[in-house]
Amino acid sequence: MAEQHPAAPPQIPSHKDKYDPFEEFNRVQGRSAVRNPYPQFEQLRSRCPVQKIDLRQLLGNEVPIPPDVVLEVYAALNHEAASEVLRDSNRFTSRGYAMSMGQVFGHSILEMDPPEHTRYRALLQHAFTKRALDRWERDLVGPVVHGLIDRFVERGSADLVRELTFPFPVAVIAGMIGVPKDQLDNFHRWAVELISVQFARERGVAASEKLGNLFAQILADRRRQPRDDLTSVLAHAEIDGSKLNDEDIFAFLRLLAPAGAETTYRSSSNLFLALLTHPSQFEALRRDRSLIPQAIDEGLRWECPLTGIMRIATAETEVAGTKLPAGALVNVNLGAANHDDSRYENPECFDIFRPRKQHLAFAHGPHTCLGMHLALMETRVVLEAVMDRLPNLRLHPEAVDVHIGGVIFRSPSELPVAFDAGRVRA
């Protein structure tokens, strides 16, 4: 089994650090400046489901935009239009990511289109089988989550973001990859610096090199002595005689590091805030655990951790009555689509009892999130653990103005809670 990390979760750097990549990333995402972008999304969507806009209309003036970013984009703002763009890789390519994230990830599935994407995805899918996920849940996710809860369960209070939802997903993804325990803090820092490349290019490129060196050491060891971890699976996966080379594996692991750490931490934080601010629904969930899948789904729909992704039109085309020229940059607004009032009744409301319909938090079509089932499992495990071990969980009575913030990446900065102190789990 891969080396586990319940005893040494990553820590959020103190403000004494000269450079805090986590704080800087959230600042650039507008977490402090933008509390709720959804009214603006709704205003745009009600005007036209697909329209040419200045990117600042989506991001707001408070969010800094790098000087080399194209400001003129076409926004797909309702569920139907966003789904159409995402499922048609012939008309809308992902190759644009080669010019942005490709400079630090390498040639990853993020920027691939079928048939190349189909082949690579099939190879990588070996790492996310039902059998593998069951093993990760038992041997890694559960121990990590409960190890973190052990640290504060007898205290009667905690910050669920800082002490649980922030550290657990990165410890899980590091354990899956096989990152040595003494490299966990570095791994987390480099993962965030990696996706900061558009506003801190030198740091992003340096982080890419450092992660590449780390993965090279792990991969070389796994080629010699395979283990039950993700790197070993990728090193030996084969379809029709085809294997991944080292750079293919490094590219996927660089993509997986921030994806596994950032999105699950944000989505689970958002879900806990939603439940804590809707106590009757939280109580219903406590009484009936069969509601967990739909509660997780509703949390993802209501506040998806990543509100937008990009595509490029391969030729002149039309979506929802709007003509797009060849080469048009398309912002697929997942957040706006998940709040489309023609699909969801009262979409601004968090309601775990609403009829379940497919949301776009994991995207759609060929590029549907490869780690979707891992993320759902992790969220279920942490939710069950919290309900099992933190009785009478509630927002701390001294908590002030706890809210979700940001535009592209969204989550609360803190989640202070109180609960009836219990025993450390045996």
What is the DSSP annotation of 256-306?
HHHIIIIIHHHHHHHHHHHHHTSHHHHHHHHH-GGGHHHHHHHHHHHT-SB
The confidence score (pLDDT) of residue 74 equals 96
User: Percent of the chain at pLDDT above 70?
Assistant: 94
CA distances from 289 to 2, 388, 420 (A): 30, 11, 20
pLDDT digits (tens, 9 = 90+) for 52-99: 998 888 777 667 777 777 789 999 999 999 999 999 999 999 999 998
Residue 9 in domain: no
Residue 4 in domain: no
Q: If pLDDT is split at 50, 70 and 90, which confidence band does 8 have?
A: very low
The confidence score (pLDDT) of residue 56 equals 80
Mode of pairing for the β-strands spanning 157-159 and 404-405: unpaired
Residue 117 in domain: yes
pLDDT digits (tens, 9 = 90+) for 25-36: 888 888 878 899
Which CATH number does the domain housing residue 379 bear?
1.10.630.10
Nearest by Cα to 387 from 417, 413, 410? 417
CA pair distance 301, 375, nearest whole angstrom: 14
- Other CB atoms within 10 A of residue 113 CB: 17
Average pLDDT over residues 368-387: 96
pLDDT digits (tens, 9 = 90+) for 390-409: 999 999 999 999 999 999 99
The confidence score (pLDDT) of residue 1 equals 39
Residue 202 in domain: yes
Number of domains comprising the chain: 1
The confidence score (pLDDT) of residue 247 equals 92
The confidence score (pLDDT) of residue 425 equals 56
Q: Which residue is associated with the tokens 């319940």?
A: 6
Question: Residue 6: is its pLDDT beyond 50?
Answer: no
pLDDT digits (tens, 9 = 90+) for 112-155: 999 999 988 988 888 888 999 999 999 999 999 999 999 999 99
Q: What is the pTM of this model?
A: 0.92
Boundaries of domain holding 404: 21-418
CA pair distance 284, 66, nearest whole angstrom: 45
